[in-house]
Amino acid sequence: MISTSAAARSFSGAALLAIAASVFACGGGGGTGAGGTPIVRPAGTSSRPCNAGASFAFAGTALQTIQRPLPPPSPAPPSPQPTATSVVTVQQAVNVVSNSAAFGGRTNLADFRIVETDAQPLQTITSLTDEFFACPPGGAGNDIEAGWTSNDSNGVALTVTFGAGNGLVDQLPELAGASWSNNAALTLAEVDADFQQTQKTVNADGSYVETVQFPDGTTSDAVEHSDGSATYSAPVGGPNAGGNTIVTIGTPAPGIGGMRIPITFTSPGSPPEVDSVADWYPGGPLRLAAETDQNLGPAAIPGACGATAANSATANKLVQNRSRLDTLFGELESEVTTTYTVAGLGVACVVVADTVTAYYDYTGQGLFFASVPQQITSLNETIGLKNATVKSSAVLTAVARARSPFQIVQARFWRAVRARHAKQLQALHRRLGDRNFGRRAGLR
pLDDT at 4 over 50: no
Q: Which of 144-158, 269-283, 411-425 shows the lowest per-residue confidence on average (mean pLDDT)?
A: 411-425
The predicted model scores a pTM of: 0.81
Question: How much of the chain, in percent, has pLDDT values that exceed 70?
Answer: 73
pLDDT at 417 over 70: no
pLDDT bracket for residue 443 (50, 70, 90): very low
Region 237-260: mean pLDDT is 88
Q: Which amino acid is at 291?
A: E
pLDDT at 83 over 60: yes
pLDDT bracket for residue 16 (50, 70, 90): very low
Count CA atoms within 13 Å of residue 240 on its CB side. 2
> Between 349 and 43, whose confidence is greater?
349
DSSP state of 441: G
Residues constituting the chain: 444
Supply the pLDDT for residue 402: 32
pLDDT at 438 over 80: no
pLDDT at 415 over 60: no
The helix (run of H) or strand (run of E) holding residue 20 is helix 4-22
Region 153-178: mean pLDDT is 93
pLDDT at 300 over 90: yes
> Between 346 and 392, whose confidence is greater?
346
Is cis: bond before 373, omega within 30 of 0? no
pLDDT at 139 over 80: no
Nearest C-alpha neighbor of 204 from the set 227, 229, 183, 180: 183
Could you read off the pLDDT of 325-358 as tens digits, one per residue?
Answer: 999 999 999 999 999 988 777 889 999 999 999 9
8 A C-beta contact, residue 41 and residue 30 = yes
Rounded-to-integer distance, Cα 48 and Cα 374, Å: 41
Supply the pLDDT for residue 43: 35
Rounded-to-integer distance, Cα 195 and Cα 264, Å: 31
Q: How far is CA 159 from CA 47, 64, 102, 337, 421, in A?
A: 28, 25, 14, 22, 17
Region 127-140: mean pLDDT is 88
Supply the pLDDT for residue 407: 43
Q: Which of 72-81, 239-248, 358-367: highest mean pLDDT?
A: 239-248
8 A C-beta contact, residue 428 and residue 163 = no
Estimate the crossing angle of helix 406-429 against helix 4-22, to 10 degrees. 160
pLDDT at 279 over 70: yes
pLDDT bracket for residue 316 (50, 70, 90): very high
Q: Which residues pair with 360 in a beta bridge?
A: 369
Q: Which of 95-99, 232-236, 423-427 shows the lowest per-residue confidence on average (mean pLDDT)?
A: 423-427
Rounded-to-integer distance, Cα 350 and Cα 352, Å: 7
Supply the pLDDT for residue 427: 56
Q: How far is CA 304 from CA 31, 350, 351, in A?
A: 21, 10, 10
DSSP letters spanning 367-426: -SB-SS-SEEEEEEEEEEEEEEE---HHHHHHH-----SHHHHHHHHHHHHHHHHHHHHH
